[in-house]
Amino acid sequence: MSSNEAKLTRYQKYKKTYQAYAQSHRDQINRGQRERYKLNPRRYKTKKYMDYQREYQRNWNKRHPLQRKEMQRKYKREHPEKQREYASRYPEKVKAHSIANNLKIPLEPECFLCGSTENLEKHHPNYSKPKLVQTVCKQCHTLIHTNVQEMNQP
């Protein structure tokens, strides 16, 4: 066995041990992370770290679609005030969403902007016309809304 191989095996062994440890001490590790964050939140506010966090979250969401839904439901249950806040801040948006949901307007088979057939969502180009719904993919949807926000800025 070459020394490189030995190193690799050692690393793999370490990884396995750590993974087992992480699995059985998940709460403890999370708590530790939260506490470190509380002690020095600024350390975690760097762009690099935020990007990393966002990317990690995105990957996690992709790998755990069901857990994510459950977490969203739980969050909604535990923070009804957030929903009220949102509803009072964007009354038109909320109304349009609920009308579109009740009408069960089906999605088109592809994004009307790029033609993608994955991660399709509904977009309201105009909240005062709740029945007018466009099918867009998640990526284009984000793009639309960032552009709309920029356009609305004075």
Establish if 96 lies at the interface with Zn ion (CB under 5 A): no
CA atoms within 13 A on the CB side of 114: 14
Nearest distance from residue 135's CB to Zn ion, in Å?
Answer: 9
Cα angle vertex 86, ends 85, 91, to 5°?
110
Establish if 29 lies at the interface with Zn ion (CB under 5 A): no
Which of residues 67 and 98 has its CB atom nearest to Zn ion in the complex?
98
Establish if 113 lies at the interface with Zn ion (CB under 5 A): yes
Establish if 137 lies at the interface with Zn ion (CB under 5 A): yes
Nearest distance from residue 24's CB to Zn ion, in Å?
Answer: 42
CA atoms within 13 A on the CB side of 46: 6
CB atoms within 10 A of CB 111: 23
Q: Is 96 exposed, middle or buried (0-12, 13-18, 19+ CB in 10 A)?
A: buried
For Zn ion, which residue of 123, 130, 133, 135 counts as binding (CB under 5 A)? 123
Residues found near Zn ion in the complex (CB under 5 A): 111, 113-114, 116, 123, 137, 140
